[in-house]
Amino acid sequence: MDILSAIKNRRSCRKYMPEPVNDSDLDAILAAGAAAPSPANSQPWEFIVITGKDAKIKIHDEALRCRNFLFEKSGWKWLTKYDLEFVKDVPAIIAVTGDPKKTGADMFMDGGNNAWRDACSASVQNMMLAAAALGLGSLWFTMFDRNNLRSLLNIDNEKIPTALVFIGRSSADLVITPRKDIKEITRYIK
């Protein structure tokens, strides 16, 4: 699949087939993440690949705790529309952690030190597009407390968990969500 098709057709996946993601596909997805741009080529990310059932159950329990906490605090009903059982069954999870010390000139401007996080986001997007190009579903997942996830995955204190990328073969048709017309969200300065 070409990159423009992957961008256009990629959608969030919350239902996965039980088959594992093969190692060559995982390697290609990780390589795509590592190819993302970063400030001063700092490459502030590290990846943790999770395929074990016990770790996925712990991540599920943390996500459920977070969802309940957020619903209690916000009252947002949309939080309850997503069943989180798929977290236990997704074939592979890639935890993306970032190192705030690996940033660029932003550390001297506007209270900066956020470019490392932007780079990690670019890495996540690259991985999701690579998954789509390989015919796999993916989901950018952030329903966790960073400190709890750090503890669950034994992540160094100086690193910050930024996202979980779920990867696997979709077991359902992916929903095409509406996008705003490009003319509504673009302006030109000449």
Mean pLDDT to the nearest integer, 7-28: 91
pLDDT tens, residue by residue, 33-58: 999 999 889 999 999 999 999 999 99
Q: Average per-residue pLDDT in the chain?
A: 91
Nearest to 25 by CA among 141, 161, 170, 169: 169
> In the predicted model, what is the mean pLDDT of residues 6-29?
90
For the chain, give the number of residues: 190
The CATH code of the domain that includes 141 is 3.40.109.10
Q: How far is CA 153 from CA 14, 41, 137, 185, in A?
A: 22, 26, 23, 39
Highest mean pLDDT among 11-15, 69-73, 91-95, 98-102: 91-95
Asked if residue 125 belongs to a domain, the reply is yes
pLDDT score of 77: 87
- Output the pLDDT for position 27: 98
Q: Do the beta carbons of residue 104 and residue 42 sit within 8 Å?
A: yes
pLDDT for 110: 67
* Cα dihedral 18, 23, 26, 27 in deg (nearest 10): 180
Q: Nearest to residue 96, comparing CAs of 146, 28, 56? A: 146
| 189: three-class secondary structure by DSSP | coil
Residue of 94, 88, 98 whose CA lies nearest to 32: 94
Does any domain span residue 178? Answer: no
Task: Kindly state the tokens that stand for 14.
Answer: 């919350």
Asked if the structure places residue 93 within a domain, the reply is: yes
Q: What is the pTM of this model?
A: 0.91
Instruction: Look at residue 164 and tell me if it is in a domain.
Output: yes
Residue 143 falls inside a structural domain:
yes
Q: Categorize the per-residue pLDDT at 91 as very low, low, confident or very high, splitting at 50, 70 and 90.
A: very high
Whether 82 is covered by a domain: the verdict is yes
Instruction: Domain count for the chain, please give it.
Output: 1
Has residue 29 been placed in a domain?
yes
* 102: phi then psi, degrees, rounded to nearest 5: -100, 80
Residue entry with tokens 């074990």: 52
Q: Is 186 domain-assigned?
A: no
Domain that holds residue 156: 3-168
For residues 131 and 104, give the distance between their C-alpha atoms in angstroms, rounded to a whole number: 29
